[in-house]
């Protein structure tokens, strides 16, 4: 990671606008922390620029567990973060 790279947290990166935005961010050379319902997305990126997390919003218990895991991972980043919520 370079100091010029921005870090983006984007929800809903498996399809639609979320996927298009995530791919544009990746194509720009930035880093995406993305969420999907199943933790999978068909994006062109490597493990150094894309980290996917499952974030299912249907039950509070699952959401709490998954959110804690995501926050724990993001705690490793000491720079500012841009968040876009595209999940519908």
38 φ, ψ to 5°? -120, 5
Cβ within 8 Å of residue 48, ≥6 positions away: 1, 31
Q: Which two tokens stand for residue 6?
A: 């921005």
Residues 31 and 3 sit within 8 Å (Cβ to Cβ): no
Per-residue confidence in pLDDT tens, the chain, 88 aa = 677 788 898 989 999 999 999 999 999 999 999 989 898 999 999 988 999 988 877 777 777 787 787 777 777 665 666 777 776 6
Name the CATH code of domain 7-85 (choices 1.10.240.10, 3.40.250.10, 3.40.50.720, 4.10.80.400).
3.40.50.720
pLDDT score for 17: 94
């Amino acid at each position: 990671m370079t100091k010029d790279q921005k870090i983006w947290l984007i929800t809903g990166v498996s399809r639609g606008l979320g996927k298009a935005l995530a791919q544009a961010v990746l194509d720009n050379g930035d880093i995406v922390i993305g969420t999907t319902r199943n933790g999978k997305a068909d994006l062109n990126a490597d493990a150094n620029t894309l980290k996917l997390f499952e974030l299912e919003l249907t039950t509070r218990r699952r959401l709490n567990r998954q959110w804690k895991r995501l926050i724990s991972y993001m705690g490793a980043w000491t720079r500012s973060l841009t968040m876009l919520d595209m999940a519908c």
